[in-house]
Structure 1
């Protein structure tokens, strides 16, 4: 594999210009700036990310800082209206310190929509050309961070795609890569099993507390992580869904707990806690797959494994998404959107080890530049909203090699 070396020692598998709007009022301008450069499927070009809120939020700032300095990002254009509360200079300075080219355009100072689009396109064109000529370096599996998520689940998800991705995670961890699973709201009932796999008893206790927080959050909302589409697809209970979600984690020891924007310090298996801390204020957690994908990317994930039984079509900005289809009938209907047919386990054409190895091999191919189906189709979904988190404690990342 090959990648692009960054100043912090991480290596990117793509070399994008990130065009980031800092308030919804700047979204259209950012989208128009990136438009001529966002149809590229060779790992270059421009991707739009952004934060729609007008008043500041520490979570959103940390997310934008991590995303703007993600290893798949080679240059950053910040697009500001001018009167929003986002701390644009903090992001700009951090990106500059990382050695990446960065520019901030303030629409109110640049002359409005047309002038800002013209200035932005000129800068992106210059940076895209420079990034296309940037040298690459060798990259090993141990350099990778891979996230996993499931969406549009049905009764086949926990039988085929999820455990197959878990097996691929075991192969990654064995090669000293970092693997991140999440959705604590869909792991209710699995906390004792996860605690038994923790590398220290203290970490096990933190895992139980994480899941208890998620359960209390959903109880307050009165809205469990169980969608009508799950029931239509044959899932019967949240317990059944939790068993399937748990299968995505594989069987490796759990090395730590992280929160959005925390980067795993070393290889291993990590649980990402995406349920906000504190009182319920900012809406439903675990309700948007793309919001969680953004959080996985902010933790350094180079690419995402996405399990679906009903058939989700989403991709993501900044990081490739590998679709692992659980249901063989869904795969037949939606083959243009799916990268892997894990439903072959149900039809007897493959076993779990074979599928896990196939996904592991595809991860390496995508990391080396092969385009996923969502990349070919131009999917670049992105969502960032308000949340609130407290920092992780020392028990969450025990110093265990």
Structure 2
């Protein structure tokens, strides 16, 4: 596989006040409690182009809970100030516990246009929808004034996740993503792999790849935490669909998931919302700290995608063997299909057919290069398949995390 060199690709992006750059310039409309969800959804539906072939640049996000949760607040703050976001409209019912004024101030402090609507004060459903549409138009006009600037490959943050895995995932799509990650890390880009609950048994080999002994110990500890959490919950990350798809053991699934990380040194361990300080390969710990309090670590793949995005991911690489059709709000999702039969059935939802490897029609390096070129194309403005289909999934639930330790991040040079 070719490694990016001095002629690294360049594309245009939107500059943000924190020095990051966005490959999209979307407006997010966020409900701050489930009671505001319908009103918020109506604003988004009416604000987006009605042409079925158009890609809407107004995205629906939100948190359904009424009770306070610091994780949920930090996640909303992180996604509302993501580099792919050009402005934010917050929609509150008025009596929930989310600190709407602080969230508004945090978003505005980044230089982004942001507004707040409180349904109880705005006059109810119809009045808030009308006010929301006017607010979105103002936000779009202000976001459009940002002049695009050149962006280099090393400024990209790329996350990866697997979903609907089967017996082909660890043979084709996952290691091909690993090849792509190796090329990106070699170009000093930032790559994030995740789900310590699906990496049980791989902690020692990950620790061996850590850039410091302290980081290696932290990686082993976070996997041990995941194992304990799943044991208490009484259900691990091995789903019935995995077995139906030919996976036989948790170890087999873990090694397949692990192969997405490639072979580069692991530079750091982060938690949802942490922004990697420099380029390199990072492990994202998505299992809550402490004893289980809020149920399963992630109730679906979509929750993990959002956590990768909260860590700054511009693009998400999603591998699937049995098939998945999800995308995401905020950051494009690139679908890489591991199984040639699945690709035959769901080709309209996939960006890359890694199943060709099984038939000898392509090598891991060739598919890894294809994934890399797809990342570059999407970063340059081409829509991923899920974007073109209108997928903008978003889900956020309750969790609790402690700050990462001092040995978890690399020291800036």
Q: If the length of structure 1 is used for normalisation, what is the TM-score?
A: 0.98
Q: Which residue, out of 47, 53, 72, partners 1:60?
A: 72
Q: Which residue, out of 17, 22, 28, partners 2:32?
A: 22
Q: Which residue, out of 189, 210, 218, partners 1:198?
A: 210
Q: Which residue, out of 28, 53, 63, partners 1:51?
A: 63
The reply to whether residue 91 of structure 1 matches residue 77 of structure 2 is: no
Question: Which residue of structure 2 aligns with residue 245 of structure 1?
Answer: 257
1:1-400 equivalences under 5 Å are 1-38=11-48, 45-132=57-144, 134-399=146-411
Q: Secondary structure at the match of 2:283?
A: strand
- Aligned alpha-carbon RMSD (Å): 1.3
Q: Shift in Å at residue 70 of structure 1?
A: 0.4
Query: Could you report, residue by residue, the CA deviation over 1:241-282 in whole angstroms, capped at 9, with x for unpaired residues?
Result: 001000010000000000000000010000000000001111
Aligned equivalents of 1:129, 1:104: Cα separation in 2: 17
Q: Shift in Å at residue 130 of structure 1?
A: 3.9
Aligned equivalents of 1:147, 1:274: Cα separation in 2: 13
Q: Secondary structure at the match of 1:4?
A: strand
1:15 and 1:44 in contact (8 A); partners too: no
1:325 and 1:343 in contact (8 A); partners too: yes
Q: Shift in Å at residue 400 of structure 1?
A: 6.3
1:152 and 1:229 in contact (8 A); partners too: yes
1:337 and 1:374 in contact (8 A); partners too: yes
Q: Which runs of 5+ in 2 are unaligned?
A: 1-10
How many matched pairs?
401
Q: Shift in Å at residue 224 of structure 1?
A: 1.0
Q: 1:275 to 1:38 in 2, by over 3 A?
A: farther
Aligned equivalents of 2:56, 2:146: Cα separation in 1: 11
1:142 and 1:267 in contact (8 A); partners too: yes
1:17 and 1:44 in contact (8 A); partners too: no
2:328 and 2:392 in contact (8 A); partners too: yes
Q: Which runs of 5+ in 1 are unaligned?
A: none
Q: Secondary structure at the match of 1:317?
A: coil
Aligned equivalents of 2:62, 2:295: Cα separation in 1: 19
Q: Secondary structure at the match of 2:398?
A: coil
Q: Shift in Å at residue 36 of structure 1?
A: 2.7
Question: Which residue of structure 1 aligns with residue 5 of structure 2?
Answer: none
Aligned equivalents of 2:100, 2:193: Cα separation in 1: 30
Q: Shift in Å at residue 90 of structure 1?
A: 1.2
Q: Secondary structure at the match of 1:139?
A: strand
